Amino acid sequence: MGSDESTRSAYGARAAEYTSLLGSIEDTHELDRQRIGDWAADIEGRVVDAGCGPGQWTDFLHRGGTMVQGIDFVPEFIQSARLRFPGVPFRVASFRQMGVPDDSLHGVLAWYSLIHVPPDELSLVFAEMGRALVRGGRILIGFFDGPPGTPFPHAVSTAYYWSVEAMGQLLAEAGFEVLEVETRRDPGKRAHAAMTAALV
Extract the runs of DSSP E, i.e. beta strands, from 51-157: 67-72, 90-92, 105-111, 133-144, 151-152
Burial label, 49 (beta-carbon count in 10 A; 0-12, 13-18, 19+): buried
CA distance 194 to 96: 20
Q: What mean pLDDT value characterizes the chain?
A: 92
* 26-53 confidence digits (pLDDT tens): 989 999 999 999 999 999 999 999 999 9
Alpha helices in 111-163 (DSSP H): 122-132
CA distance 114 to 56: 17
Q: Is the per-residue pLDDT at 172 higher than 60?
A: yes
Q: Is the per-residue pLDDT at 7 higher than 70?
A: yes
Q: Which CATH architecture does the domain made up of 3-199 adopt?
A: 3-Layer(aba) Sandwich (3.40)
Which pLDDT does position 141 carry in this prediction?
98
Q: For residues 95-108, give the mean pLDDT.
A: 96
Q: For residues 163-186, give the mean pLDDT.
A: 97
Chain-centroid distance, C-alpha 16: 19
pLDDT band at 177 (very low <50, low <70, confident <90, very high): very high
Which pLDDT does position 2 carry in this prediction?
44
Smallest CA-to-CA distance from 173 within 118, 136, 121, 126 is with: 126
* 105-152 confidence digits (pLDDT tens): 999 999 999 999 999 999 999 999 999 999 999 999 999 999 999 998
Q: Is the per-residue pLDDT at 14 higher than 80?
A: no
Partners of residue 193 on adjacent β-strands? 143, 183
**Residues 112, 118, 121, 123: what is their CA dihedral angle, to the nearest 10 degrees?**
40
Please name the helix (run of DSSP H) or strand (run of DSSP E) that holds residue 11, with its range, or none: helix 3-13
Model pTM above 0.85:
yes
CA distance 177 to 179: 6
